[in-house]
Amino acid sequence: MKRRSYVIALSAVSCAMAAIAVVVQGYLPTARIALNVVAALFVALPLTRNSFVGALLSYICASLIGFFAVNIQALPFILLFGPYTLVMWALDFLFYKKARLPKWLKIVVIVVLKIGYFFLMFWACLQLMKVVVADITLFGFEWTTPVLYAVGFALFCLYDPLFRWAYRCMVTVIGRHVRGGASKPSKTQNISQEKTDKSPFDDEDESPFKDAASDDGERRDAAVDPKDGQRVGDRQDRNESQSGDERQDGNGSGGGDESGS
């Protein structure tokens, strides 16, 4: 019950902050892209607690408030930035974990779906904006359609990894500092949360040479000498400690001779 109340409160805060960002971007053309990104990050707040429904409701409410407040100027958030938050989480953190497909095939599917989503929503956004606005201006310049597609896709290629990194930072910050109704997670829950939050583009490369070296070291330490029946690793540790004691004794005797002379 406490966790459900916490998720509801987090979704309400998400909706309010996202709506404010969408409304403000309608009155600040120079900060329109940045504020849309901020609004999309606020929509992702419920996703840090794996609440897809909370994020969806936050997006819908923020879109309605933004559309009634600034009309057509809310379309970039409604069609691109807002729903992409849900698409990113569903593909990178849900589909990748649960789909029983080869890893390379899952990555290909995710990339193709993301690119297809971008071009479809970007085209829809441009068509709807052209109904009201004859020429699309940004930063005081008029942009043609091919240039808009090229610049938009380049920004999308940067936006996707940066947004995913920002989302993972949000998960860490909220999990550690914003307790609310959630109980303190145990070590087992932290490990499972880290596994859940992994995406296909955040996996660390595993070195086979590192694994082989560690296996060789373990086998060498566990080996038993047939002569005295002792493990090789224990004997090496004992020899190193004895050599260290001898060096300390030698240094002490040398210092005594020098003081006596």
Q: Compute the mean pLDDT over every residue in the chain, rounded to the nearest whole number.
A: 74
* Dihedral sign for Cα atoms in the order 43, 45, 47, 51: negative
Give 31-40 pLDDT, tens digit per residue. Answer: 888 999 999 9
Quote the pLDDT of residue 9: 86
Quote the pLDDT of residue 80: 87
DSSP secondary structure letter of residue 101: S
Quote the pLDDT of residue 19: 93
Give 203-216 pLDDT, tens digit per residue. Answer: 544 444 344 444 44
Quote the pLDDT of residue 10: 85
Give 157-180 pLDDT, tens digit per residue. Answer: 899 999 999 998 988 888 776 654
Cβ(10)–Cβ(54) under 8 Å? yes
The least confident of 48-52, 180-184, 231-235 is 180-184
Give the whole-number percent of the chain exceeding pLDDT 70. Answer: 61
| Residue 235 pLDDT exceeds 70 | no
Q: Is the pTM of this model over 0.75?
A: no
Helix axes 32-43, 52-70, angle to 10 degrees: 150
Quote the pLDDT of residue 79: 87
Tokens 């690793």 label which residue?
233
Give 128-153 pLDDT, tens digit per residue. Answer: 776 655 555 555 556 667 777 888 88
Cβ(10)–Cβ(46) under 8 Å? yes
> Band of the pLDDT at 242, cuts 50, 70, 90?
low
